[in-house]
Structure 1
Amino acid sequence: MHQHHDRFDRRHTDDLLSFLAASPTPYHAVANAAERLEKAGFRAVDETEAWDGATGGRYVVRGGALIAWYVPEGATPATPFRVVGAHTDSPNLRVKPEPDTGAHGWRQLGVEIYGGTLLNTWLDRDLGLAGRLALRDGGTRLVNADRPLLRVPQLAIHLDRGVNDGLKLDRQRHMTPVWGLGEAREGDLLAFLAEETGLDAPDIVGWDLMLHSVEAPAYLGRDRELIAGPRMDNLLSVHAGTAALTAAAESAPPYIPVLAAFDHEENGSQSDTGAEGPLLGNVLERSVFARGGGYEDRARAYAGTVCLSSDTGHAVHPNYAERHDPTHHPRAGGGPILKVNVNQRYATDATGRAVFTAACERAGVPWQTFVSNNAVPCGTTIGPITAARHGIATVDIGVAILSMHSARELAGADDPHYLAATLAAFLAG
């Protein structure tokens, strides 16, 4: 058995908990990842500017997505890439365009349901409000009201005697949070946002706002060998990928290491910042062309490129073991998982397994395999999309957790460090 909680593990996991707490939205996650990259010497480049072929670390931010890469000394236009793919978005409740609503003396905010969220986990929780504001001058501003503001109150058992035999929630009627007393007033949210940011209300012309639990991420368990927190699907991978990229940049890698953190994975990746959009391909191509390459160099570079698509997977659940495959029981604390599905819900094949196991062995990290019970439909990731869109070899991996898509998920405290070490070994070649 591996030893729990050596000092390096704890430092990485401590930093992950800080990252989760500071990243209630994809926009905040990208800003926090960019801050870590800046400290490691990476520099932002603008998509609208001309790019040069200089060596060193660069990154592009577009909305809730970030692509970062490091060009080592001696890289040619045909040097292949090593890509860590992840996503910044998590299932949650998001504010509607005309949000001010309410009834019977309660002020409420209208919300849409984003992604495949476990609705009941949002009930009776203290919720904050965060996201990005679009301004009249064309700029944007992040906002994070990280305090108890809202609550989706559950109906008392006295008024729903059969609730423990099956809770049924209407997504439109039952998920509207309360945030005050009195009559609903048009402009209520806008006035709040102006107060929160110091902006004038007329200067705010739009928003991408979402709710988050304000309960802090924390170590959990008798021996503190677990972590509980929000958005581990999939900020755990974004954080690990950021750490791995900065580590790889210090090691003179034979490849060009890349971190691709996409938005909108939880609803199909079809956006300009999602994995099915052109963002990653554009960045990789422009990197080739900026170093003096052409179509042939791009084709050669892509042919030698490998992507590890890192997303959370399912640890075996002690209370529902029958929902898992009988011979594949990934455990929290057991190291990263290789995700396999022959119907290409995951992109892994045998050659990909060899790449992943080599990285785990170089990092000295234990690893496990996940495959679904044949009677339980399998989820999917950015892996198959990335493989098909760009024609690059892709392997699906991740960390095994419980309570996936809950407002608060559960993982092993050692697994974030194991994942980051594996990704660093992969990127360093």
Structure 2
Amino acid sequence: MSIDPQQNIEDLSAFVQASPTSFHVAAEVARRLESSGFTALKEEDAWGADAATGKHFVVRDGAIIAWAGAAQAGKASGYRILGAHTDSPSFKLKPNSSVRTFSWNQVGVEIYGGPLLNSWLDRELCIAGRLAVLDADGKVEQRLVKTGPVARIAQLAIHLDRDVNNGLKLDKQNNIYPIWGAGESTGDVLGYLSDQVEGEPVDSRRILGYDLLLADTQAPRTFGENNEFFASGRLDNLSSVHAGMTALQRFVESEDCKDATRTVMLAAFDHEEVGSATRSGAAGPFLEDILVRLSAARGETPEEYRRSIADSICLSSDAGHLVHPNYAGHHDNNVRPQPASGPLLKINAVQRYATDAMGAGIFALACEKAGVPYQEFVSNNNVPCGSTIGPITATRMGMRTIDVGIGLLSMHSVREMCHVNDMAYMTRAIEGFFSL
């Protein structure tokens, strides 16, 4: 199960750069899985028995579910599911997003999720996402788009706000619109994007809708005394998507896969940062739709399907918090996750995380099998924690769910950081989980 941490982090860097939005994440995972022998299935097509036994994936908007049927699986056999999410906090373009303010061309945006707003200031940003385009046959097709560095949310100079260092407060309507042109430029956002579409350019008059967001264009990089740290955008939660995808690819090529009795699966959902309540989010029907159809491909009865769910486990992987050396009081006094000490097992008394005692034991076995350390995370009682797809999946599907993830500093910043070794540990832990 050994993984070279530096090679792994270089691959994560390439993955992040190819994935500025959830739609690009799903496309990049699909591309990589296809190169590993996985086959795309369409939800609108009929599925045969081989859907349950081969290596396949389904893309739904900005989400992707991929699986490898176990060689020894029978009816009512369970699943080992790595759950993650493809979206990250950002700014989403509004309708009529071309804005002219004095001689500046700006982009009208609204806040997506919970970004650290100040971290987005004075950075060169791209615009990326998907366009709904009317094709030559009169049908609406999806086209991905990604620009180079074109936009910047400029901060007000200290000379014009002498008290800014006593507390920066941004007006969410008036202070966050990025600048992207000036003077004689047209300021037509869609006109510009129509020439940046992947593949052939499109006529901007044929663009009927869009889901577009901002993303930082600075490349990820390692740093530190021994290059032990990794700085990047969107580690929450592309760290988990990459670890799950890599573990899936590695597991299907391993000796353990030959004797597996349970199907292994990566379920990477969209919209976690805004509540998951969408057709491609964890609170929606995507995972159940796939499992029901795989059950039909197996020829299971309704009872056998329910037995397969009872025999299933979801490892919900989402980034967590390392103890911050400058803000130690914001963490629990006795549970203080450290860098390079393995993935976090996330625990919460009111089930904001879905881990229970049995789930903790299962994750301990997975890490022992993989030969990696792990550590527990719990919140300071005065600092309530967020939540994940874990409780949603447990409630939605009724299967045992365990919340884990790598530790970060600066979560929800435009540029987060982790320890290089923790990414390798997380990937190996997921491989261990798949083998249980």
TM-score (norm 2): 0.95
Tell whether 2:321 aligns with 1:314.
yes
1:262-277 alignment runs, 5 A limit? 262-277=269-284
8 Å CA contact 1:101–1:184 kept in 2: the answer is no
8 Å CA contact 1:100–1:184 kept in 2: the answer is no
Deviations 1:345-377 (A, max 9, x none): 000001000110101111110110000000111
Deviation at 1:285, TM superposition (A): 1.2
In 1, the alpha carbon distance for the partners of 2:232 and 2:352 equals 27
In 2, the alpha carbon distance for the partners of 1:360 and 1:202 equals 54
Tell whether 2:12 aligns with 1:16.
yes
8 Å CA contact 1:96–1:110 kept in 2: the answer is yes
Aligned to 2:42: 46
Aligned to 1:3: none
Deviation at 1:182, TM superposition (A): 3.0
Equivalent of residue 305 in structure 2, options 276, 282, 298: 298
Aligned to 1:143: 145
Worse-superposed segment, 113-122 or 51-60? 51-60
8 Å CA contact 2:85–2:241 kept in 1: the answer is yes
Tell whether 2:418 aligns with 1:411.
yes
Q: Compute the RMSD of aligned alpha carbons.
A: 1.2
8 Å CA contact 2:129–2:211 kept in 1: the answer is yes
Deviation at 1:248, TM superposition (A): 2.1
In 1, the alpha carbon distance for the partners of 2:248 and 2:3 equals 21
Tell whether 2:97 aligns with 1:99.
yes
Which residue type is aligned with residue 32 of structure 2? R
1:22-421 alignment runs, 5 A limit? 22-54=18-50, 55-136=53-134, 137-145=139-147, 147-182=148-183, 188-197=188-197, 198-250=201-253, 251-252=257-258, 253-421=260-428
Residue-pair matches, total: 422
Which residue type is aligned with residue 26 of structure 1? S
Worse-superposed segment, 319-328 or 130-139? 130-139
Q: What are the ranges of 5 or more consecutive residues in structure 2 without an aligned counterpart?
A: none
Deviation at 1:184, TM superposition (A): 8.6
In 1, the alpha carbon distance for the partners of 2:184 and 2:321 equals 44
In 2, the alpha carbon distance for the partners of 1:120 and 1:394 equals 35
8 Å CA contact 1:93–1:111 kept in 2: the answer is yes
Task: State the SS of the aligned residue for 1:79.
Answer: coil
8 Å CA contact 2:3–2:424 kept in 1: the answer is no
Deviation at 1:313, TM superposition (A): 0.3
Deviation at 1:75, TM superposition (A): 1.7
Task: State the SS of the aligned residue for 1:107.
Answer: strand
Deviation at 1:22, TM superposition (A): 0.9
8 Å CA contact 1:245–1:257 kept in 2: the answer is yes
In 2, the alpha carbon distance for the partners of 1:97 and 1:247 equals 43
Deviations 1:355-408 (A, max 9, x none): 101011111101100000001111100000000000000000000000000000
Q: What are the ranges of 5 or more consecutive residues in structure 1 without an aligned counterpart?
A: 1-5
Deviation at 1:129, TM superposition (A): 1.0
Which residue type is aligned with residue 387 of structure 1? A
Which residue type is aligned with residue 117 of structure 2? L
Report sequence identity in percent.
49
Deviation at 1:328, TM superposition (A): 0.9
In 2, the alpha carbon distance for the partners of 1:90 and 1:279 equals 19
Worse-superposed segment, 73-82 or 341-350? 73-82
